[in-house]
Amino acid sequence: MKFVVNRLLTTLLTLFLVSVITFTAFHVIPGDPAAVMLGLEATEGQLAALRAELNLDKSLPVQYGLWLKGFFTGSLGNSVRFRGEPIAGMVLERLPVTFSLAVLSIIFIFLLAIPAALLPLGRENSPLDQGINTAATIMISFPGFFLGVLLMWIFGILLKLFVPGGYVPYQQDFGGFLAYLVFPALAIALPNAAVVVKFLRGSIFLQLHSDYVRTAYSKGNSRYRVLYRHALKNAVIPAVTLMGMITADVFSGSIVIEQVFTIPGIGRLLIASITSRDFSMAQILVIYIAFIVVLANTLADIAIQIIDPRIRVK
């Protein structure tokens, strides 16, 4: 219970600090949201009226207090970039897109990383182990945008398994929506799976060279029991921490991949809000990302305690 309370307080403090830093940062950089919204032909009177409507004529502490009040009351205001559309509605509309892409990516990471890391168990430096390690190294070296473009070229243009840029809204056809997300999810999953493979592989082989493993063998334990009942249990603990960080990154939205595959998720919305100085929209999205990061790491700590009750994460 103490652990949960501490994590809750940490989450609240993190979100508060992130909101203050983000709010201040977007207000000190050059630019005028009112000018962006009205265009170059707007008069000074129109600009002044819109600044007053958006509370931009008030001091930063007052503006932050008004924004914070709106956040807790659910009144997030309207978007500057998207011509006054409600921010809450736009974020809620795009959350299922990023969430679906993230869940599919996480599934692919597990399906690819776990078998690849476990296959060479007990056969260090074998051809299979070296092949998996080489493939993981190559996959890590690919930049995200290049891998996305490569998958689009091979499977979209050459093999014609999907239409590049032919995004299907989930409200229109959920099956087509998921089908289109397969290759973007692979573009996210492949480098992350490669990181998990190399990390888990190194952790497993480190455990296999430990004294307690040799002691377990000397007591007559079978290879299966030593590997899966002793070494793997200890090796997976640091990998769980890594998965927590990867999960936070995936769920916060892959900005590059959403841009490459023209997916209208949180990542593209964040870019649009930053470039147009849509303060209120950017603030909400940054807080969302911060919350996902804290939540993912908290769940990883809980998972570690379940795997090995001897560990106490404070």
Domain ranges of the chain: 19-73, 96-268+289-307
Could you tell me if residue 122 is left (phi over 0), alpha (psi between -120 and 50 degrees) or otherwise beta? Answer: left
CA angle 218, 220, 222 (to 5 degrees): 115
pTM, whole model, 2 decimals? 0.81
CB 263 within 8 A of CB 152: no
Find where tokens 């007591």 sit. Answer: 219
Confidence band, pLDDT 50/70/90 cuts, at residue 220: confident
Give me the pLDDT at residue 308, please.
67
To the nearest whole percent, how much of the chain has pLDDT over 70? 89
Distance (Å, whole) CA 194 – CA 137: 7
What CATH number labels 96-268+289-307?
A: 1.10.3720.10
CB 74 within 8 A of CB 91: no
- Per-residue pLDDT, averaged over 6-21, amounts to 81
CB 287 within 8 A of CB 15: yes
CB 93 within 8 A of CB 85: no
pLDDT of 1 above 70: no
- Per-residue pLDDT, averaged over 213-227, amounts to 74
108-114: long-range pairs with CB below 8 Å, 24+: 108/185, 108/186, 108/188, 108/189, 108/190, 108/193, 109/189, 109/192, 109/193, 109/196, 109/243, 109/246, 109/250, 112/189, 112/190, 112/193, 112/197, 113/192, 113/193, 113/194, 113/196, 113/197, 113/200
Closest-CA residue to 206 (of 179, 236, 177, 183): 236
pLDDT of 253 above 70: no
Residue range 104-131, pLDDT digits in tens: 999 999 899 888 887 776 666 778 778 8
Residue range 130-159, pLDDT digits in tens: 888 888 888 888 887 888 899 999 998 888
The most confident of the ranges 67-76, 95-104, 277-286 is 95-104
Tokens of 108: 């692919």
Give me the pLDDT at residue 180, please.
92
